[in-house]
Structures are given as structure tokens and as C-alpha cells.
Structure 1
Amino acid sequence: MSRFWHPNVARVADTLIARGHHGLIVRQPDSVRTAEEAAAAVGADPAAIVKSLVFLLDDDPILLLVSGAHRVALDRTGERLGGTLVPAPRSLVVEVTGQPVGGVAPLGHPTNLPTYIDRSLQDHGELWAAGGCTNTLFRTTYRELIRITAGVDVDVD
């Protein structure tokens, strides 16, 4: 990986490659912190943007990979996952992912977070996810996302 990449991006790219993904991460000229910004940058539907969100499930951090068109229904999703679900504080997000809020990738974290993937993402042939910084994205598919994250699909609405 180029020495010009931020270490977070290099870690994400290395993890992608190690898991059989091509590892190409695209740097955007502007922020892609939100699903709307990311969708505009790559010409995609916001629903095809993968938001990497950290929650606490009964006090244990988990990662939910959610469509940019969805908000997580905390009560129903918590029930499906077998516990109480609440958003993690920003400081914990940074601690467990090593990445900034708005740039959290689905992988490449210093901790091994249990990962759940919004089932509605399968409706899109091409998905885009953050690459470890607020101006980076990589392309993937639903099936590949499940494989590279060892994620479990779940309904989040």
C-alpha cells in the first residue's frame, strides 16, 4: 500500500486483500461522511451505501452494516439479536474501530467486532462502503460483504 495513504486506509486495504477482495479504495476529493455524500460521489442510490455503525448489544460492542436508506429500529433489531441495543458513544466507536465516525469501514479494526448486515443491502448489485477515513470508499457486493466480514444478515427495520 502506498505510503501516501492514511494508516487506517492501508489497514483496510490490507484486510480486504487478505480476505480475497481486490483491495481498491477510492479517495474522494471531498468528504463522504454521510450516505448522501457518498452516493453523490459515486453516482449511486443512497440505499446502496453501507453505513458501518457501532452499537452496544447488552453492553458489548457490535457492528451493524446498514443501508444508507435505513435507520436502525433499536427495539426490534435488539430483539432479533437477543438483547438490548443502543448506539455506542463516539469515543467507544473510535476505540473499537480505530477509525473516525463517518469513515468507519466494515473491517480493518483492531478489535474483532461481531458483525450484522442489513438484509436490504442484497437488493443492490453494487455497494459502496467507507475505507477507514472520511473521504474514502470501496466497492463491494452483498455476498462479498458477508464473506469478507463473516457477517450475519439481519432485518434492521
Structure 2
Amino acid sequence: MAAAPTPAVAALIRAKIPHTLLPYHHDPRSTAFGDEAVEALGRDPHQVFKTLVARMDGTLVVGVVPMSGSLDLKALAAVLGGKKAVLAAVADAERSSGYVAGGISPVGQRTALQTVIDASAEDHSLISVSAGKRGLQVELAPQDLARACRGRFAPIAG
């Protein structure tokens, strides 16, 4: 019997968005979740994206950037018309998204947040993001990711 899909995978299925699940072994001792995914899957770190939750002017927002870079919080705030953004506390990110750190997906979050995907995603035909749990990525077209999380593209990677 197959395991129930994560909220992210269920959302992609409901929206009829083409995707491929990329499972890998997650070492419970690992805290470098994105690096672990890149290495385990043998993927280009420019095509594996991490989902970061930030607090901008008191509101939670999401930035999706390649593993090869970092989130430019000033750029994220500017794109969303805010003054300042800081990374959200892990507990706040987990509570809002419904996912655990290292498995936060931009898709199927408990609370839909404004989402910005780094513009570099559009340089690739396929990218991967967390599918909603550690040890599982989902590969899809960047435009489909934007549609699934109602995100927009902008240069937000540092």
C-alpha cells in the first residue's frame, strides 16, 4: 500500500501539474538538508531550490532560491514592497507551512504566503524543490512551480 502523498504532492496532483518525485535516503543526523538532497540525487545545485520563510514587516513570506546561493532578504522585501525582511524562526516557519524544517515545500503550505522564486529558475527546463518532507524532492518546470504556489519570479538570490 502506497503512503499518502504529502500536501505538496497532493496539491500538484489536484492541479494536474506534471512532476516527478525524487526520493532519497535522508540521514536523520544531517542538518544540511539541501546539500544532502543535492548530493544524494546527484543534481546540479543551481537546479535544486530551497524554500525559506522570512518575516517581512511582521508578515511571513516565502523565498525560493537555488542551493548554490543564498536568499537576499533586502531583494525579497523590495520585490514584495516591504521595508525589511529577516529569516523567520524555525517554529514559525513550521507552524505556518505545516512542514518540518528541511522539508518545507513552497507548494501545499497550510497557510498560503506570498512567494517569490529566484529568476534563475527560469534558466532551466526543470528544477526541484522539497516535496514536503525530508528525503523527498519534486522535479517540475519552473512555470508550473510558480502556478502551483502562486509565486512570481524575481532576482532574490545572493
CA apart distance, 1:19: 1.5
CA-based RMSD of the aligned residues comes to: 2.0
CA distance in 2, matches of 1:43, 1:94: 27
| Contact persistence 1:57–1:78 (CA under 8 A) | yes
Letter matched to residue 116 of structure 1: V
Aligned-partner residue type, residue 150 of structure 1: R
In structure 2, C-alpha distance between the alignment counterparts of 1:106 and 1:76, rounded to whole Å? 18
| Alignment map for 1:5-154 (pairs within 5 Å) | 5=4, 9-22=5-18, 24-31=20-27, 34-83=33-82, 84-154=84-154
Aligned residues: 153
Secondary structure of 1:48's match?
coil
Determine helix, strand or coil for the equivalent of 2:65. strand
Counterpart of 1:109 in 2: which secondary structure? coil
- Percent of residue pairs identical: 24
Q: CA deviation at 1:80?
A: 2.9
Q: Residue 6 of structure 2 aligns to a residue in which SS?
A: helix
For residues 21 and 76 of structure 1, do their structure 2 counterparts lie closer, same or farther at Cα, with a shift above 3 Å needed? closer
Q: Distance in 2 between matches of 1:93 and 1:127?
A: 22
Q: Are 1:14 and 1:23, in contact at CA under 8 Å, matched by a contact in 2?
A: no
Equivalent-residue separation in structure 2 for 1:149 and 1:27 (angstroms): 21
- Asked if 2 retains the 8 angstrom alpha-carbon contact of 1:38 and 1:46, the reply is no
Q: Which moved more, 1:69-78 or 1:80-89?
A: 69-78
Q: Which has the higher helix share?
A: 1
Residues in 1 aligned to 2:123 and 2:20: alpha-carbon distance in whole angstroms: 23
Q: CA deviation at 1:93?
A: 0.5
- TM normalised by structure 1 equals 0.87
